Amino acid sequence: MHAFKYHRPGSLKDAAALAAQSPDHKPLAGGQSLVQAMKLRLASPSDIVDLGALKELAGIRASATEITIGAMTRHADVEHSADVRKAIPALAELAAHIGDRQVRAMGTLGGSLANNDPAADYPAAVLGLGATVITSQRRIAADDFFKGLYETALGQGELITAVSFPVPKRAAYLKFKNPASRFAIVGVFVAEMASGVRVAVTGAAACVYRQKDMEQALAANFAPASVAAVRQAAGGLNTDLHASAEYRAHLVTVMAKRAVEAALG
């Protein structure tokens, strides 16, 4: 690990000022990805801006139509939140199956989204529910946030402060997980919203994406058989030591069908 300067600002304003002063900085959330990247020298920031003291970035607020979760909220807090369990049980269940107990105790919603690992779970919920990512500068619709492999719409020095999730009529997330890390080999989030049906797929490609053929099929008839008939093309999907593109394509249909079954209860 290279040497770096450590900062622990007490307010979002100070954090934003530090980020602006040091263009080569990195915000630190739970350190679950960043510290490993620094140890491996895949990242060597000049400055670390620890967000741990920013109370305004943690916590969960519920209204009749949306759940807003602070960027520094740990996965375990989402998993155990009575408000999330009541309004969007699929989101609480998703959080409950991230990594292991230690990862859930430290990992954060904001860190997961900013990192945008192609196999991460939260991007599927954010895109599947059509959530809004709130930053220190603006509000970004989920459809505009995820740009590619580990790439997001966040600009230099821009911090995620919270995410606002609209409450669906029904939703579910199913993943075929890597048994060691529990990252998604393929994960599918299905949601029936007031505005229509959304289907988001993670783990299969370089970046989370919407499966529009499945959305169309489910809009006509929200039933497992509707998605079971939709085949995902393997072109452009990931092949690695865990699964081939063809296997992942098959899993997209299988996980989508199971997610619809789960959403229907």
Ligand X SMILES: Cc1cc2nc3c(=O)[nH]c(=O)nc-3n(C[C@H](O)[C@H](O)[C@H](O)COP(=O)(O)OP(=O)(O)OC[C@H]3O[C@@H](n4cnc5c(N)ncnc54)[C@H](O)[C@@H]3O)c2cc1C
Residue in the shown chain whose Cβ atom is closest to ligand X? 111
Nearest approach in angstroms of CB 110 to ligand X is 3
Find the angle CA(204)-CA(212)-CA(144) to the nearest 5 degrees: 75
> Which residue type is seen at 140?
I
Nearest approach in angstroms of CB 40 to ligand X is 12
Q: Total number of residues binding ligand X (CB under 6 A)?
A: 31
Q: Which of 38, 88, 93, 111 touches ligand X by CB under 6 A?
A: 111
Q: How many CB atoms within 10 Å of residue 53?
A: 13
The tokens for 115 are 């990192």
Stretch that binds ligand X, among 2-10, 115-123, 203-211, 239-247 (CB under 6 A): 115-123
Q: For ligand X, which is the closer residue by CB, 33 or 68?
A: 33
Query: Binding to ligand X by residue 89, rule CB under 6 A?
Result: no
Q: Which of 33, 81, 226, 232 touches ligand X by CB under 6 A?
A: 33
Sign of dihedral through CA atoms 139, 122, 104, 18? negative
Query: Binding to ligand X by residue 204, rule CB under 6 A?
Result: no
Stretch that binds ligand X, among 111-119, 193-201, 212-220, 223-231 (CB under 6 A): 111-119
Query: Binding to ligand X by residue 182, rule CB under 6 A?
Result: yes
Q: Which of 96, 103, 228, 254 touches ligand X by CB under 6 A?
A: 103
Nearest approach in angstroms of CB 164 to ligand X is 15
Tokens 């296997």, residue located: 247
Stretch that binds ligand X, among 100-108, 140-148, 166-174, 242-250 (CB under 6 A): 100-108
Pairwise CA distance, residues 53 & 35, whole Å: 18
Nearest approach in angstroms of CB 124 to ligand X is 9
Nearest approach in angstroms of CB 220 to ligand X is 31
Q: For ligand X, which is the closer residue by CB, 115 or 164?
A: 115
Query: In the stretch 119-158, what mask flags binding to ligand X with x, by CB under 6 A?
Result: -xxx-------------------------------x----
- Residues in contact with ligand X by CB under 6 A are 26-34, 51, 71, 98-99, 103, 106-108, 110-112, 114-115, 120-122, 154, 159-160, 181-183
